[in-house]
Structure 1
């Protein structure tokens, strides 16, 4: 899980602030993005485990 958090943190950082280099960033900034990444991965896991109701098929007549 640590590697996933690091990958997502780097991706979020690059998307937010692409003119900086992750390796040269302050630890406090890296920790902030790691927290964002952890939250994002937890939300994704929650979303994947949530049951989705079966989709209903709705047929709409075509109207020109």
Structure 2
């Protein structure tokens, strides 16, 4: 999960208009984007769970 957080954090950082180079940013900036990434991934997980809970199973008889 740490790798996912890092990838999403870098993507969010790169989406900023005035983004510099990730490797040159201080840890306080990186940590802020990692928090954003965790929140985004948590929301995505909740969204996916809601879709699965709301799914219905239909049994369709198959006639050959």
Figure out how many residues of one structure are paired with residues of the other and give that number.
Answer: 54
If each structure's helix is expressed as a fraction of its own residues, which one has the higher value?
2
Match of 1:42 in 2: 42
The aligned residue for residue 24 of structure 2 is: 24
Structure-2-length-normalised TM-score: 0.76
Unaligned runs of 5+ in 2: 57-64
TM-score calculated relative to the size of structure 1: 0.76
5+ unaligned residues in a row in structure 1: which ranges? 55-64
RMSD, matched Cα:
1.6
